[in-house]
Amino acid sequence: MLIKWVQTLGLSLLLMVSAHADLTIEITQGSEGALPIAIVPFQQPVTGAPTQNVDQIVTSDLARSGRFQPLPVADMLSRPVQPNQVDFRDWRALNVENLVIGQVDAKGPGAFDVSFRLYDVYRGEQILGYTLQASADELRSTSHRIADLIYETLTGNKGAFDTRIAYVTSIADQTGKPTIHLRVADADGYNPSSIVSSSDPIMSPSWSPDGQKIAYVSFENGRSSIYVQEIYTGAREKLTSFKGINGAPVWSPDGTKIALTLSKGGNPDIYIMDVRSKKLTQLTSHWAIDTEPAWSPDGRFIVYTSDRGGNPQIYRVEADGGKAYRMTFEGKYNAKASYSPDGKQLTLVTRVGEDYRIGLMDLRTRDIRLLSTGDLDESPSFAPNGDMIIYATRNKNRGVLAAVSTDGRVEQRLVLQAGDVREPAWSPFHQ
């Protein structure tokens, strides 16, 4: 790699422990005042019952957001399925503010209708209700969509449960020889698949805006190259393999360009490649190291890391070229910045003493607020709704992933069942 710039509630809720989950998600800090909600077990069809439990998936999604406190099923006074079975007095007695009921109906071999209703308990009225069609293979995704709808209705922000994450893992065999995998999984750690496996390093995954492709760096044959790979077909294309550094690819918001770092001119600089024509345009030209580009949501600007001021700091330049402006002045190390989806903040890695932490910069005030507490936290990536940031850290001498809400009130740890994990990237919303 070019340079490795380089009130707690005491919750310890372990979620999603399953042979089908690649990552185990542990809530290490939840939001004080999390919203009390009850998700009643959904009615299942008598025959042709699905293998996925929709209400449990919805419950897990809302719980791991840290913003909801689901009522345990054992504490429920009743378990209604139909609207006429709901007695709001039962739920008020339990101090539940919102109630979800639903059912799964078989509509043929491997086909289901999933219906749910969301109620405001204290107003005694329905505030949301849908029926969604799903195949057996789509039930997990449909469950995540239900959680997204509930989340958006109750928080005012779009949910991101029905998204995915990409990450790099290193798993050693019995002889200690590691195999590197670029994996994609659901945001809750389920349905993992390796899209690339290699004995050589893989790094810097970046999602295309449509969520269909990933650009990444591979060191096959002993040199760095940038590839773009289609997730579902496995087809891949080599974009660059110049002498020296080929690194840090990142897609433009419209998917027509990729910003990247190349040293083919003798020094690491930022370039922009037109994805269709493969034409390269050099964006920076400086004796310093310029790397780790990231686009603004409107595509007008690119921020990047440069040590042109004597140590790594964040700079910004217009995507069409022009003068570079320094963005960070606090501290001697700020790197790996990326924009929030609304373009109002940057997440970055900042050095505090001898530790590297995840920070959040307000672009209006330029203030940086620390969000993590580790000693080697890196590679932050925003959720597509801007509510959470996923990043890489260390725990008990293992590489793990962690996530923190942008207000700092909710923290999670995502632990791979085997090996080390690093370099996470959160997907865009499904299109």
pLDDT in tens, the chain (431 residues): 333 333 222 222 233 333 356 677 777 777 677 999 999 999 998 777 777 899 999 999 999 898 999 999 999 999 999 999 999 999 999 999 999 999 999 988 889 999 999 999 999 999 999 999 999 999 999 999 999 999 999 999 999 999 999 999 998 888 888 899 999 999 998 989 999 999 999 999 999 999 999 999 999 988 999 999 999 999 999 999 999 999 999 999 999 999 999 999 999 999 999 999 999 999 999 999 999 999 999 999 999 999 999 999 999 999 999 999 999 999 999 999 999 999 999 999 999 999 999 999 999 999 999 999 999 999 999 999 999 999 999 988 889 999 999 999 889 888 776 678 999 999 999 87
DSSP 376: B
- What is the separation, in whole angstroms, between the first and last Cα of the chain? 33
Query: Which residue is listed with tokens 């995507």?
Result: 319
Residue length, the chain? 431
Sheet of 35-39, strand order: 68-70, 35-39, 98-106, 111-120, 125-135
| 1/379 Cα distance (integer angstroms) | 13
Cα–Cα distances in angstroms (integers) from residue 358 to residues 32, 237, 299, 309, in the given order: 22, 33, 24, 21
Cβ(228)–Cβ(236) below 8 Å = yes
Neighbours of 81 (CB within 10 A): 16
Neighbours of 329 (CB within 10 A): 11
| 181/231 Cα distance (integer angstroms) | 14
pTM for the whole structure: 0.91
Sheet of 164-172, strand order: 193-198, 178-186, 164-172, 420-426
C-alpha closest to that of 121 among 98, 105, 87? 98
